[in-house]
Each structure stands twice: as C-alpha cells, then as structure tokens.
Amino acid sequence: MRHQKDHRKLGRPGDQRMAMLRSQVDALLRHSKIKTTVQKAKETQRIAEKIITTAKQGTLHARRQVLRQVRDKDLVAHLFEDIAPRYADRDGGYTRVIRAGRRSGDNAEMAILELAD
C-alpha cells in the first residue's frame, strides 16, 4: 500500500536527494528556468512553491526559514526583493512544468520547469 508516501525517492538516499533538489531550486530561482526530468521537475516544483509562499510573508522569520533551504544570502535577497513581490497577489501556481520530449541516450522524459509570469 502507498499510504502517506508523499515524495519520490529518485533513486537516491535522502541526504543526496535533498542536496540535488536544493541545487535545482537554487538554479530555478537564479535563472527562472531549468531543464530536467519530469520526476525531478515535479519534486523541485513542490519545494520551490513552498519557498516562494514563505518568502511572500517578508518577515525576518520567513527569511531565516528560507535560508534553511536555499543557503545563498544573495539568492535569498533576490527572492525576497524581486521574485516574491511579483507573486504578491497570487495564491499559488508560481511555477509550471512543460514537457519537452525525451532525452537521447536514456530516453528519459524531459521537462522545463520555469517560474510563471
């Protein structure tokens, strides 16, 4: 049974999985768009949506909570000053996953994860 299994393992131990997802969230916030597999994009989307929702609060406590995940002070400043105000009147759906065909080599299904406008 699959009760309360709320995330994909992505073939990695937990610490490696979180390190990979954190780096993908960093790249998404820095470049506004990344290309990865569909499964990784969906997991990264979950984390990025929560981080942007927390950043919309704009408090010191929210900044410290985001720093637990992002860990780059310049990127957190960019998130709070530029990205979060852009979504101030939006209740969710800050990112979108666009399927982008299959990768040659291993035929993995690829996707583009980008910040919604």
Calpha distance 23→111 (Å, rounded): 17
Residue 5 has pLDDT above 90, yes or no: no
Cα separation, 20 vs 72, in Å, equals 15
Q: Which domains, from first to last, does the chain contain?
A: 14-115 (3.90.1030.10)
List, edge to edge, every strand of the sheet that includes 95-102: 33-37, 109-115, 95-102
- pLDDT the model gives residue 66: 98
As a whole number of angstroms, the distance between CA 19 and CA 65 comes to: 17
HSE (side-chain half, CA atoms, 13 Å) at 40: 23
pLDDT of residue 100: 97
- List the structure tokens of 11: 């073939």
Whole-structure pTM value: 0.92
| 109-115 and 33-37 beta bridge pairing | antiparallel
Distance CA 20, CA 104 (A): 22
Predicted confidence (pLDDT) at residue 2 exceeds the cutoff of 90: no
Mean pLDDT of the chain: 96
Q: Is the pLDDT of residue 109 over 90?
A: yes
Q: What are the tens digits of pLDDT across the range 70-98? A: 999 999 999 999 999 999 999 999 999 99
Percent of the chain with pLDDT over 90: 93
